[in-house]
Amino acid sequence: MFVKTVETKNQQRNSDDRRWPGIEIRNIKKAVEHPDIRGEQHYTIRSGQNQKEVKNAYFDFGFALVARIVSFAHRFSEIRDTMNILGIETSCDETSGAVLCNGNVRSNVVSSQLCHTSFGGVVPELASREHERLIVSIVDAAVTEANITKNDLDVIAATAGPGLIGAVMVGLCFAQGLAYALDVPFVPVNHIEAHIFSPFINEGSGHTAPEGAYVSLTVSGGHTLLSVVAPDLSYKVIGRTLDDAAGEAFDKTGKMLGLPYPAGPVIDKLAEKGDPNFHLFPRALTSQSQSSKSWHGNFDFSFSGLKTSVLTWLQKQSPEFIERHKADIAASIQAAIVGVLVEKSIAAARSRNVMAVSIAGGVSANSSLRKAMKEACDKEGIALHLPSVTYSTDNAAMIATLAGLKLSRGMKAERNYNVAPYASFAAAAKKA
């Protein structure tokens, strides 16, 4: 393949004439119409960002936009497929660094903090200190595992929120400092948005995003969202939790059962040996809820009623009974959460006429949710997209991947970005 690069950057507009002088356009026209004469099969053309007419003319010839030049600190860095992106994630209790080379994950180092276990939840100050202790070695490990050096990095990306403020700050400040030192662009990433696109990490090796719009269910320890994602990566949130998140429902009801934090994976394992029909816990805002008439088209979630129901029911049981039926109770709680998530996702896909659903976030690692969603999708003829379990829970590969996607779609890198612990999902959606 022969690639010819044509510069149109300094082309001047002829003020007397509405047309561009078009020296390159004339050449391109000749080459496109008579490929046999020039012999080139592929052209890359550079044009100034504001040269709309020139760009439109190229589009008319069938050229596509493949890259943008991003300006950073008086330096031009070309963002293209062949770039090495370092992603950093520190929003909660995972310290993670990942390197994405040419769109593929070369390394994804994740350290899950164990210091919170005895507290039954994440202690923010402990999380920040642990991130601070680990960040240098995690990033070093990610770069070494990727078989590159820091000087090979083209872009640094980090979670900028939402998350625990101190925890986010550690990764964000470290990432911006490193970007400054290496003189490469920095890209802030919204954590929830990164989860949404995590099923398509390593796109090209079997994880291709659907061609049309799809419904995304994002279920983590802090968020439960249903959104409709368009092919251009823009998305609209159509439902969210009114109280607890799905992961929180797992963690809090698990705590009532005496399980360690985070209880989600423990319930998942325990439930394998239990009966999901042992006790029917409530499924709020669904066809099975008491006010079932009003649920149609309501894509919001509510899990606080389940929490109360589990608590009051457990209080009526003896400790021996609970111990004997722990697996059955875990399976029944899991069935209530999974039932709601599947029913709402399928109803959303039907109502929006889309033929694909994706699940992401920590709870998407749940084996029962994966199985039930697959069965429901198969029944409806809907394609299901899941992240590999490694990319369900918090990881830096999803941060690097979203940074790459955004840059390839023209997002500007930042210089000094402030921490955004409550980064609005709606604001991120509007920008996308």
Nearer Cβ to ligand KG4 (393/401): 393
Q: Residue 197 binds what, of ligand KG4, Zn ion, none (CB under 5 to 8 Å, by partner type)?
A: none
β-bridge partners, 214: 229
Minimal distance, residue 110 CB to ligand KG4, in Å: 10
Minimal distance, residue 222 CB to ligand KG4, in Å: 5
Minimal distance, residue 413 CB to Zn ion, in Å: 23
Nearer Cβ to Zn ion (94/154): 94
Contact between 193 and ligand KG4 by CB under 6 A: the answer reads no
Nearer Cβ to Zn ion (222/282): 222
Q: Residue 339 binds what, of Zn ion, ligand KG4, none (CB under 5 to 8 Å, by partner type)?
A: none
Minimal distance, residue 426 CB to ligand KG4, in Å: 18
Minimal distance, residue 221 CB to ligand KG4, in Å: 3
Give which of 234, 190, 193, 198 is closest to 213, Cα–Cα: 234
Q: Residue 264 binds what, of ligand KG4, Zn ion, none (CB under 5 to 8 Å, by partner type)?
A: ligand KG4
Contact between 159 and Zn ion by CB under 5 A: the answer reads no
DSSP-assigned states of every residue in 329-384: HHHHHHHHHHHHHHHHHHHHHHHTT-SEEEEESGGGG-HHHHHHHHHHHHHHT-EE
Please tell me the distance from the alpha carbon of residue 331 to that of residue 65, in angstroms, as a whole number. 50
Q: How many residues bind ligand KG4 (CB under 6 A)?
A: 19
Decide: 361 and 349 in contact? Cβ < 8 Å: no
Stretch that binds Zn ion, among 38-46, 179-187, 286-294, 394-402 (CB under 5 A): 394-402
Decide: 354 and 212 in contact? Cβ < 8 Å: yes
- What six digits make up the tokens of 409? 């779609």
CA 263 to chain centre: 22
Report 101-140 residues binding ligand KG4 (CB under 6 A): none
Query: Residue with CB nearest ligand KG4?
Result: 362
Q: Residue 404 binds what, of Zn ion, ligand KG4, none (CB under 5 to 8 Å, by partner type)?
A: none
Minimal distance, residue 158 CB to ligand KG4, in Å: 15
Minimal distance, residue 407 CB to ligand KG4, in Å: 23
Please tell me the distance from the alpha carbon of residue 394 to that of residue 194, in angstroms, as a whole number. 10
Report 354-383 residues binding ligand KG4 (CB under 6 A): 361-363, 365-366
Give which of 288, 273, 247 is closest to 330, Cα–Cα: 273
Please tell me the distance from the alpha carbon of residue 141 to that of residue 149, in angstroms, as a whole number. 11
In 187-325, alpha helices (H)? 191-196, 246-256, 263-271, 304-315, 319-324
Nearer Cβ to ligand KG4 (176/366): 366
Decide: 79 and 390 in contact? Cβ < 8 Å: no
Cα–Cα–Cα angle for 228, 233, 236, nearest 5°? Answer: 30
192-221 footprint of Zn ion as x/- string (CB under 5 A): ----------------------------x-
Minimal distance, residue 219 CB to Zn ion, in Å: 10
Nearer Cβ to ligand KG4 (219/413): 219
Cα–Cα–Cα angle for 269, 220, 129, nearest 5°? Answer: 95
Q: Residue 393 binds what, of Zn ion, ligand KG4, none (CB under 5 to 8 Å, by partner type)?
A: ligand KG4
Minimal distance, residue 88 CB to ligand KG4, in Å: 15
Select from 95, 197, 394, 399 the one that contacts Zn ion (CB under 5 A).
394
Contact between 423 and ligand KG4 by CB under 6 A: the answer reads no
Q: What is the DSSP letter of 318?
A: -
Report 229-288 residues binding ligand KG4 (CB under 6 A): 247, 250-251, 262-265, 268
Please tell me the distance from the alpha carbon of residue 286 to that of residue 292, in angstroms, as a whole number. 6
Residues recorded for the chain: 432
Q: Describe the strand order of the beta sheet including 356-360 as a list of residue ranges.
A: 235-240, 224-229, 214-219, 356-360, 383-385
Q: Residue 185 binds what, of Zn ion, ligand KG4, none (CB under 5 to 8 Å, by partner type)?
A: none
CA 219 to chain centre: 11
Nearer Cβ to Zn ion (220/401): 220
Contact between 392 and Zn ion by CB under 5 A: the answer reads no
Report 201-230 residues binding ligand KG4 (CB under 6 A): 220-222
Nearer Cβ to Zn ion (79/363): 363
Please tell me the distance from the alpha carbon of residue 305 to that of residue 321, in angstroms, as a whole number. 23
DSSP-assigned states of every residue in 147-173: T--GGG--EEEEEEESS-HHHHHHHHH
Residues that bind ligand KG4 (CB under 6 A): 92, 220-222, 247, 250-251, 262-265, 268, 361-363, 365-366, 393-394
Residues that bind Zn ion (CB under 5 A): 220, 394
